[in-house]
């Protein structure tokens, strides 16, 4: 069994924010794989699905981003899962829009959701880094991530989350390299090889 966690802030006010792309990815996985209805559990909304041969619990913490670790720790304890079973989907400033990388462990790059999870659970879990680009200066980051995706960005967001859902059985079985490669090829095929915003940084 795996625990797939999407990071975001709860409520309609935040639903379209760049910071909520983790929620969007997990929602699309649930939709694409016929997951059970969402229900209130673990200080969030939880569902279950079968991805390939693997049973996966999907979780969207409703603690607000900065306290995501409380919900994740509760779910891990309930299912008696370890950090190798945890996969977290989150927005990544240091990747260009429409790009994705899978990373195990490492630093949290100032992401408060990841910081909270690491504080409550430990650091050695997998992160699916969903690129949203950088506004160009650190003083602009807070407002940038808490604004909705622009209308022009919505097509690549939809394509990226759909590609994540399509490839998610690979992630569930631990084949991170194939998962990442399949999404890269899918995004290239859809014409999203290079999506730039002014001031974007491309690292990692």
Q: Can you spell out the DSSP letters for the chain?
A: -EEEEE----SGGGTTBGGGHHHHHHHHHHHHTTPPPPEEETTEEEEEEEETTEEEEEEEE-S-GGGHHHHHHHHHHHHT--GGGEEEEEEETTS-TT-EEEEES---TT-HHHHHHHHHH-S-SEEEEEE----SSGGGHHHHHTSBPPGGGHHHHHHHHHHHHHHHHHHHTT-HHHHHHHHHHHHHHTT-S----TT-----
Candidate list 19, 33, 90, 134, residue with the active-site label? 19
Reply yes or no on whether 19 is catalytic: yes
Annotated catalytic residues are 19
């Amino acid at each position: 069994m795996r625990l797939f966690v999407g990071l975001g802030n709860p409520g309609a006010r935040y639903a379209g924010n760049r910071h909520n792309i983790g929620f969007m990815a997990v929602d699309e996985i649930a939709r694409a794989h016929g997951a059970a209805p969402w229900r209130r559990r673990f200080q969030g909304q939880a569902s279950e699905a079968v991805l390939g041969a693997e049973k996966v619990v999907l979780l969207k913490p409703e603690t607000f981003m900065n306290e995501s670790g409380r919900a994740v720790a509760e779910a891990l304890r309930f299912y008696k899962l370890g950090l190798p079973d945890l996969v977290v989907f989150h927005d990544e400033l240091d990747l260009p829009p429409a790009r994705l990388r899978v990373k195990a462990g490492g630093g949290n790059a100032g992401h408060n959701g990841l910081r909270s999870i690491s504080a409550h659970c430990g650091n050695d879990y997998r992160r699916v880094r969903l690129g949203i680009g950088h506004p160009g200066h650190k003083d602009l980051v807070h407002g940038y991530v808490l604004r909705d995706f622009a209308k022009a960005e919505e097509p690549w967001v939809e394509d990226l989350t759909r590609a994540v859902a399509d490839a998610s059985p690979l992630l569930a079985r631990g084949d991170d390299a194939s998962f990442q490669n399949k999404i890269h090829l899918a995004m290239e095929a859809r014409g999203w090889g290079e999506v730039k915003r002014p001031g974007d940084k491309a690292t990692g």
